[in-house]
Structure 1
């Protein structure tokens, strides 16, 4: 049984080292291998953690306790599973939540409200500031209705044409 524990510990440790050195390559090769619909927690990192912790716990329990083989096996498995849960909730889940892009497409701005920062003439260009979750963005704007719009006016983006936002003043 001790051979199984050592194999799991060494195999998991090697997987961790290889993951650090060749992480991007492994992600491409192993993508989808352990993905099960509805089971977000079953991924290669969590599975490797469970196996490594199982091996380490098995070695420690067999050396330092008076339990029989079934007791070592059961407790090692329980400790490995609890360690996997801890890795998922302390490392994987927060990392997934932080993977949020601040990029956007200009077409996503259609329908957003903004404020004119540089006046928009009847025929010409001005500037509009739009507040997004990730911060403020400033873009070139023209008047959709071909009417001048003063600085500070609240507007809505009607459409995007050739990288320029066409805006209309909001009437309250």
Structure 2
């Protein structure tokens, strides 16, 4: 079958090459378009590009290897592309997006965490704190909550976060005998 004077196999192949090229461009410039995927939810550019890639690849293979009608091949290719796109979204894209979020932290989430001073905090000055987490080590500037001196190596509790600075107090985790009863 021909469409606009071009064989349908050539059209499928051209669509596949365009979808593949746009996918590579999206890999390089995807951060610019990231807001589009967040705004429209299901209209994620990755899903749209992969749908056209799956559609054209399936259509090309079916046109080349079977004697089915072109309309039936297009419908079959669209169904297969939709199924593969759904599987890609459920098993790859959704887990990747949630994994990326779980490794990040907000400054508000640091409140109540215990860390260790690696650069001593002088009176009315700044030092540095290290907080260990499941995703790695977080190093942030710190100041004494009461503007007091905190020596290097001391365990501290984060009470407040302002403009990227953690305000801390010395932390002691010793239980008294009457606390256990």
- Match for residue 17 of structure 1? 21
The 5 A counterparts of 1:7-156 are 7-21=11-25, 28=32, 32=36, 36-37=40-41, 39=42, 42-89=43-90, 92-93=93-94, 95-97=96-98, 99=100, 109-117=110-118, 128-139=129-140, 141-145=142-146, 153-156=154-157
Which structure 2 residue ranges, 5 or more long, are not aligned? 175-181
Contact 1:9/1:52 (8 A) holds in 2: no
Q: Which runs of 5+ in 1 are unaligned?
A: none
Provide TM-score, normalisation by structure 2. 0.59
RMSD of aligned Cα (Å): 4.4
* More relative contact order, 1 or 2 (CA 8 Å, 6+ apart): 1
Change (3 A) 1:50 1:155: same
Which has more helix, going by share of residues? 2
TM-score by length of 1: 0.61
Change in CA separation of 1:5 and 1:129 when aligned onto 2, cut-off 3 Å = same
